[in-house]
């Protein structure tokens, strides 16, 4: 696989995977109507890793669901790979990963990964071949015939990622996939997702509450503000393409973490901000 395009170095013409112009979403109607998001403009290029971050209620999950055609915009236009979202969905352009793994408890791990392939009518040998390959990718080779309850939360989430990647979707949509994991597991999963992204070159849109996670993973961080939800700032993450433990300790990383935090604070003056570990805060502020 080709390595992912580095953002900011954009002399090469890359087609937009997501093109949102003036997208808005209002739930309900009349006096009880709630504006979830308003006039969102966003263009995501092929191979990018985009994080959506913002306070609760800023509509980041709604935006992700709009992109994935799980709900429909009430205003604006949205094109995925140059076509309407509904068309992109029926073309199976999306891989989805939620906060919960949502595995089918009656299927073994391998069969869970094969589920989308079965639905899409892949031949049995091809399904088995891909499942084996993906189990290797997420480092769960020995677990093919286990059932979901036999795996830990982090392992189950890795299965969910493998399942989403099984049919080579053009766009991977992840809604707080590591939100339910402990900090240690989360960092390990971040590193793992990073290496998967680099190997597959899939475009990823990633919703998160965690600033360090967003900075570590992304090529761009989209900061959103609440009531009504809109994009307040887009921050380019110009970290080296190769990211590792050292990246998390680099000065550049801390400066970017601080920038994202300040962008969030600007629009959310209350102390109800996204959670960051105490250690991260102390280190980041010491260097800023």
For another protein, the binding residues (CB under 8 A) are 68-70, 89-92, 94-96, 98, 100, 102, 104-108, 115-116, 118-120, 139-143, 146-147, 149-152, 154-155, 167, 187-188, 191-192, 194-195, 198, 242-246
Q: Are strands 49-53 and 203-208 parallel, antiparallel or unpaired?
A: parallel
- Which CB atom, from 236 or from 242, has the smaller least distance to another protein? 242
Three-state DSSP class for residue 207: strand
| CA 153 to mean position of chain CA atoms | 18
- Which CB atom, from 135 or from 264, has the smaller least distance to another protein? 135
Interatomic CA distance for residues 19 and 42, integer angstroms: 6
Give the nearest distance from C-beta 102 to another protein in angstroms. 5
Give the nearest distance from C-beta 243 to another protein in angstroms. 6
Interatomic CA distance for residues 41 and 233, integer angstroms: 11
Interatomic CA distance for residues 189 and 152, integer angstroms: 13
Three-state DSSP class for residue 121: coil
Give the nearest distance from C-beta 144 to another protein in angstroms. 12
- Which CB atom, from 167 or from 267, has the smaller least distance to another protein? 167
Interatomic CA distance for residues 197 and 242, integer angstroms: 11
Give the nearest distance from C-beta 227 to another protein in angstroms. 25
State how far the alpha carbon of 229 is from the alpha carbons of 113, 247, 252, in Å. Answer: 34, 31, 29
- Which CB atom, from 51 or from 108, has the smaller least distance to another protein? 108
- Which CB atom, from 135 or from 224, has the smaller least distance to another protein? 135
Interatomic CA distance for residues 146 and 205, integer angstroms: 30
Three-state DSSP class for residue 154: helix
Give the nearest distance from C-beta 31 to another protein in angstroms. 27
**DSSP per-residue codes, 10-49:** TTS---EEEEEEEEEEEES-GGG-EEEEEEEEEEEETT-E
- Which CB atom, from 20 or from 137, has the smaller least distance to another protein? 137
Give the nearest distance from C-beta 148 to another protein in angstroms. 9
| Residue among 245, 244, 249, 224 nearest 234 (CA) | 224
- Which CB atom, from 89 or from 227, has the smaller least distance to another protein? 89
Give the nearest distance from C-beta 169 to another protein in angstroms. 9
Q: Answer yes or no: are the C-beta atoms of 256 and 248 closer than 8 Å.
A: no
Give the nearest distance from C-beta 168 to another protein in angstroms. 13
- Which CB atom, from 142 or from 269, has the smaller least distance to another protein? 142
């Amino acid at each position: 696989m080709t390595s992912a395009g580095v953002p900011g170095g954009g002399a090469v013409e890359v087609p937009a995977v997501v093109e949102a112009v003036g997208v808005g979403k209002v739930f309900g109607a009349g006096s009880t109507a709630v504006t979830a998001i308003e006039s969102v403009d966003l263009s995501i290029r092929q191979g990018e890793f985009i994080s959506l971050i913002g306070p609760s209620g800023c509509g980041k999950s709604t935006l992700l669901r709009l992109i994935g055609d799980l709900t429909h915009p009430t205003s604006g236009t949205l094109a995925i790979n140059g076509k309407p979202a509904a068309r992109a969905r029926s073309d199976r352009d999306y891989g989805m990963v939620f906060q919960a793994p949502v595995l089918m408890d009656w299927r073994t791990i391998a069969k869970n990964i094969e589920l989308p392939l079965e639905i899409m009518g892949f031949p049995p040998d091809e399904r088995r071949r891909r499942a084996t390959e993906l189990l290797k990718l997420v480092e769960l080779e020995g677990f093919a015939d286990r059932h979901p309850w036999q795996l830990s939360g982090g392992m189950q989430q890795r299965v969910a990622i493998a399942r989403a990647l099984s049919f080579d979707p053009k766009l991977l949509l992840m809604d707080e996939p590591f939100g339910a994991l402990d900090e240690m597991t989360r960092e390990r999963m971040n590193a793992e997702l990073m290496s998967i992204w680099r190997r597959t070159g899939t475009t990823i849109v990633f919703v998160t509450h965690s600033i360090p996670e967003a900075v570590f993973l992304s090529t761009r961080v989209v900061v959103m503000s609440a009531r009504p939800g809109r994009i307040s700032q887009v921050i380019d993450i110009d970290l080296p393409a190769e990211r590792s433990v050292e990246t998390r300790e680099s000065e550049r990383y801390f400066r970017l973490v601080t920038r994202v935090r300040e962008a969030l604070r600007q629009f959310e003056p209350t102390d109800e901000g996204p959670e960051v570990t105490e250690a991260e805060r102390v280190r980041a502020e010491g260097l800023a």
